[in-house]
Structure 1
Amino acid sequence: MTKAARPAKKPAPATQAPKQASRPRVAAATKSSGPVLLTPETLPAPVMAGRDFLSNLDMSAQELRAVLDTAHSMRRGEWRGVRPLSGLSLALVFEKASLRTRTTFDVGMYQLGGHAITLSNQEIGLGTRERVSDVARNLERWVDGVMGRVYLQQTLVELAEHASVPVVNGLSDMLHPAQLLADYQTIEQEYGQDLAGRRVVYIGDGNNLANSHIHMGILTGTDVTVVTPVGYEPNAGVLMDAVKAGVNVTLTNDLAAVEGADVLYTDVWISMGQEAEADIRRRAFRGYQVTPGMLDTIAPGGIFLHCLPAHYGEETVPEATEHPKSRVFDQAENRLHAQKALLYHLMGAMKPRW
């Protein structure tokens, strides 16, 4: 098959609303009747067909709504039995180890009728054994999409520049957008779709999770506060994204900002690749640990989220992830539903190569 036969990758629209589904939407089922199962004829139209997903800002607010609606529908079991990605394949490229990312993308492709192949960095050697651009040009001729869990955002940018198939950010040093889809699905399960003005307080390192929370605040209107020690603030370019969008983000090192939060979120203090800074970071973040006592200070109906893995004794304790306000394991489950929804909206319009 020549490359000309593949659908061209579409640029992300700046303000253009996504195409409306031409097929009827199926109403949510009642508890007594069980889920109303979709059929190939009643699936929603993919809204991001052929595009890359390197950042949450690669989608519009309307496209985010479509993806989350699909994720909720998948969690309700309404997609059981349909295989919209039948005959399609996804390469899973890992520079960093993974439990949730590998399992959920692999299982997600299987449940949608497709196939996933896992490639470790020992097998590929991104940028060492082979140029990133050469890896991209090879993969695009075999697979229909690429998910990368990598050290550098620039690696994903290069993959996307040179591959004609969708490239998905499964994690980088800068952003973790797929995780935030699952996070906001979890938040919507608690509060509904209208999240404007809800207080999302992120406590800890101003890392890829903090950066992606800021991007989601831009898309959803949530009031994002980042509580972090001096010197560990989110990326300046991401903060500028918020300024350009006219969205206020509160930065503070005052732990009192946690009080009254609708959502309290934390992540590890020491990410993969930062082991040499472990002692310095533990001293800097002392006091920023989420405990049951801290959870008592958030809103009465507030929830606690952590993307996992948890380094118990550092950013949190087992009593917090097992607390009645914790939704940590619902959040982990939603990685499967949210990423399946994303893959459908990126790849659902593709035809098998064979």
Structure 2
Amino acid sequence: MTKAARFPRTPAEAGQPQQAQANMANNPAHLTPETLPAPVMAGRDFLSNLDMTPEELRTVLDTAHSMKRGEWRGVKPLSGLSLALIFEKASLRTRTTFDVGMYQLGGHALTLSNAEIGLGTRERVSDVARNLERWVDGVMGRVYLQQTLHELADHAAIPVINGLSDMLHPAQLLADYQTIEEEFGTDLRGRRVVYIGDGNNLANSHIHLGILTGTDVTIVTPVGYEPNGSVLMDAVKRGANVTLTNDLGAIEGADVLYTDVWISMGQEAEADIRRRAFRGYQVTPAMLDTIAPDGIFLHCLPAHYGEETVPEATEHPKSRVFDQAENRLHAQKALLYHVMGEMAPRW
């Protein structure tokens, strides 16, 4: 994208915002406060993708596509609402997209680092929840433990959103599947999504999306680094098409090839062991040549180049890595709307 292309506003939009909003209201391609879809997860927690039904996921993704097309410009459904962003782990994409997303929807986000609140150390998680519920309208947590999110949700009478935990990364998967749908359409049944690398929170959440969408999910990982056993067992019970293997040949013909870092935050002490275990699992341009001709490569970023992938892969014609990063904004805005869209401002 050129810098000139980044500023497509008309003179009316730039200099006469009220008139521009009126123009958009008269354009059937743009929504108005009266034509917004009903929030489908109003007031609920989002700790896992399985907190959604397939129908709710469909609505959220449709909203994300609509937002990306610009059909929500000028509409501020979260005006007067606030979202607390709790970060035990560092963040670029999660912090920026939730913060900007709340702003674009008319709300406000405030960032709370672990140094400021000390979840479970300076203050009990339950006490943090009871304080925040009296000041803000929702909480997003990017934390070490899934249990921390459940404890926040159990003690706060406001929605809690999982921005990442050791077990799951459900907000990321919304952006991932928005990106996949941009390539293959909304009916993904039977499409092959192959995840290669550590059986971590991303792998677990990919299995959940296989349950919800009907994609065939293959996890390619070394022995000893498999996804969570209870997640796999639940997928089998639900009839999902999930394959677990350490055979790199399973990548051939994939519609989507997905990878993530081998060494997540908090695993630095295992770095050398993990690098040896994952040798051969690096996504390269040669590996991308083996996926489907119209297949795509995804990575949730940040990329540790020289480990799970190389720059030539993220810059490859089959890469949609930076479209995927952009879609964090649209997908999370859609999620915020459907969770918080019916809440009344406190003042």
Task: Provide TM-score, normalisation by structure 2.
Answer: 0.92
Given candidates 38, 47, 50, the residue that maps to 2:43 is 50
Read off the aligned partner of 1:116 and give its amino acid letter.
Answer: A
Structure 2 residue 158 is the aligned partner of structure 1 residue 170? no
Which residue matches 1:318?
Answer: 311
Please give the alpha-carbon distance, in whole angstroms, between the structure 1 residues aligned to 2:231 and 2:121. 29
Q: How does 1:1-354 map to 2 (within 5 A)?
A: 36-354=29-347
Q: 1:244 offset after TM fit, Å?
A: 1.9
Is the 8 Å Cα contact of residues 291 and 317 (structure 1) preserved in structure 2?
yes
Which residue matches 1:28?
Answer: none
Please give the alpha-carbon distance, in whole angstroms, between the structure 2 residues aligned to 1:91 and 1:110. 13
Please give the alpha-carbon distance, in whole angstroms, between the structure 1 residues aligned to 2:47 and 2:131. 20
Residues 117-169 of structure 1, C-alpha deviation per residue, up to 9 Å, x if partnerless? 00000000000000000000000000000000000000000000000000000
Q: 1:35 offset after TM fit, Å?
A: 7.9
Gaps of 5+ in 2: 1-26
Q: 1:39 offset after TM fit, Å?
A: 0.3
Please give the alpha-carbon distance, in whole angstroms, between the structure 2 residues aligned to 1:268 and 1:161. 31
Which residue matches 1:14?
Answer: none
Is the 8 Å Cα contact of residues 214 and 241 (structure 2) preserved in structure 1?
no
Please give the alpha-carbon distance, in whole angstroms, between the structure 2 residues aligned to 1:248 and 1:42. 38
2:65 is paired with a residue of what secondary structure?
A: helix
Q: 1:76 offset after TM fit, Å?
A: 0.2
User: How many residues matched?
Assistant: 322
Please give the alpha-carbon distance, in whole angstroms, between the structure 2 residues aligned to 1:241 and 1:320. 33
1:329 is paired with a residue of what secondary structure?
A: helix
Is the 8 Å Cα contact of residues 204 and 229 (structure 1) preserved in structure 2?
yes
More helix by share: 2
Is the 8 Å Cα contact of residues 66 and 72 (structure 2) preserved in structure 1?
yes
Task: Provide TM-score, normalisation by structure 1.
Answer: 0.90
Residues 280-336 of structure 1, C-alpha deviation per residue, up to 9 Å, x if partnerless? 000000000000000000000000000000000000000000000000000000000
Q: 1:248 offset after TM fit, Å?
A: 2.9
